[in-house]
Amino acid sequence: MKKISAKSQIKRGNTCIPGEDNIHVGDEGRGDHNVETSPPIHLGNVGVKLENEGRVEGPAGLLETVEEVVEAPWEEIAGPDLSQAYVVDLTQQFNRIFVQTSFNSFKEKQQQQSGGSSKMEGAESDDIGTSFLTSEQYMVEGHSVHSQQHEDEEKEELPHVLREQDRFLPIANVARIMKRGIPKTGKIAKDARECVQECVSEFISFVTSEASDRCHQEKRKTINGEDILWAMNALGFENYVEPLKIYLQKFRESTKGDKPLEGSVESSYEVDFGNNMATFTADHVSQSEIVCTYGPGQVTQQFTLG
Amino acid sequence: MAGTEGEAVVGEELQGVEGDGEEGGRAGLRLPLARVKRIMKADPALQLASQDAVFVIAKATELFVESLVEEAYQYTRKAGRKTVSRRDVDNSVEAIDALAFLDGALDWS
């Protein structure tokens, strides 16, 4: 009786009810990345609140009850990965942790598709991890806010997304570039966009492997801009070479002035902040582009700095 | 790029509006370098790539996309349409020697 009333007290209190939508504890359990505060705090709050409401129950009794209430849903929750997200280390480790949740499913998918695709072949888990981290696969579409990553779908959605994002550039970016090639009145069919998206990845691989071969022949390990230009020449894209030289020059000039952002695109992880409400990752994919990923819904925005 | 233009681009990005592809990032780059790099790294033979290399490929990719679409659009126009279809892209690939590497590499289904 007393316990029941305590429970109903909790309900009316409308806070910290595990399993309810608006409760962080419950949310955490259910897979929502709403990493608020840790459960004990909620429990404490509940206890205090109820006391304030003048209930007769002693704190211990209430807490016990609350704990009971709280415990049960947690047991039901099958979101093991998310517990990792609770780690409050919001430094460089953050990305690994945040990413870890999707990494596991990513790895699964990798293994699943390892037969088909030669990508990631031979990569050790570390490489997978590294590549994973350097990828933006928690981005669905390149730039715009994608809200389809709702709590329920998230886990199922992610593996699908990962597979595509592994191999292709964001279709939105591709589409935007495509539009530059046609008059404003023109439109581009979805399948055409996808087709070009695939072509693009092929193109990149093609040119890269050519450049890489050359590097290898010359006993060098790092391919540089010149190698790429040479490869383009060799592969029939010589008309790109001159414009590319100019762009490269511009790029070099523009990167010179960026002291804070200097460095390769590998060192691109920067955790701006992770507060209780959201996880925020700013990924400097280049000196001028930052991809920001907001958890829990994995909202992603890409900012291009002028 | 000055702040104004940068802001305009950012604003555009945030609203999800696809503009006319004005100058975007560094040297007008509109593709995420990290993603480009990722695709490059998928090649096991590749060991290291300098930042320049990644940029050049990214930029070359843009040029590639533009030219490919321009070509495809020729077919679109010929057919009296305004929407570039996959068929148009396919035709371009077949017509251009340099694009032979795409033959068979794409899923034609």
How many Å lie between the alpha carbon of B82 and the closest alpha carbon of chain A? 5
**How large is the C-alpha radius of gyration of chain B?**
17
Q: How confident is the model at residue A141 (pLDDT cuts 50, 70, 90)?
A: very low
Q: Pick the residue of A99, A136, A212, A267 with the most B CBs within 10 A to test the interface with B by mutation.
A: A212
- Kindly report, residue by residue over B80-109, the tens digit of the pLDDT: 999 999 999 999 999 998 888 888 776 554
Whole-structure pTM value: 0.48
Is pLDDT at A228 greater than 60 in this prediction? yes
Residue A255 vs residue A124, higher pLDDT? A255
Selecting from A173, A181, A222 the residue whose C-beta is nearest the C-beta of B50 gives A222
Model pLDDT, residue A244: 93
Checking DSSP bridges between strand A269-270 and strand A280-284, what pairing results, if any?
A: antiparallel
With a pLDDT cut of 70, the percent of chain A lying above it is 30
| CATH superfamily for domain B5-102 | Histone, subunit A (1.10.20.10)
Task: Report the alpha-carbon distance of residue A245 to residue A98 in Å, rounded.
Answer: 39
Between A193 and A131, the more confident residue is: A193
Chain B CA closest to residue A235: B98
At A121 the pLDDT is 40
Please say if the pLDDT value at position A16 is more than 50: no
DSSP state letters, A225-266 = HHHHHHHHHHTT-HHHHHHHHHHHHHHHHHHHT-STT-S-TT
Average pLDDT over residues A21-49: 44
Which carries the bigger pLDDT value, residue A208 or residue A93? A208
CB-CB neighbors (< 8 A) of A285 in chain B: 32-35
| pLDDT attached to residue B77 | 92
CB–CB of B106 and A195 under 8 A? yes
CB B5 within 8 A of CB A304: no
Q: Is B44 on the interface with A (CB under 8 A)?
A: yes
Are A192 and B84 an interchain contact pair (Cβ–Cβ within 8 Å)?
A: yes
* Closest residue to A248, CB basis, from B13, B30, B52: B52
ipTM attached to this prediction:
0.79
The verdict on a CB contact (< 8 Å) between B69 and A181 is yes
Contact B60 A244 (CB under 8 A): yes
pLDDT in tens, A246-260: 999 998 888 887 655
Could A222 and B30 be called an inter-chain contact, meaning their C-beta atoms sit closer than 8 Å? no
Q: What is the pLDDT of residues B14-28, one digit of tens each?
A: 443 444 445 567 778
CA distances from B80 to A33, A97, A180 (A): 50, 53, 20
Does B14 contact A at CB distance below 8 Å?
Answer: yes
Q: Is the model's pLDDT at A94 over the cut of 70?
A: no
Contact status of B46 with chain A (Cβ, < 8 Å): yes
Backbone angles phi, psi at A301, to 5 degrees: -135, 145
- Kindly tell me if the per-residue pLDDT of A193 is higher than 80: yes
Instruction: Give the pairing type, strands B83-84 and A187-188.
Output: parallel
CB < 8 Å from B in window 135-174 of A: 135-136, 142-145, 165-170, 172-174
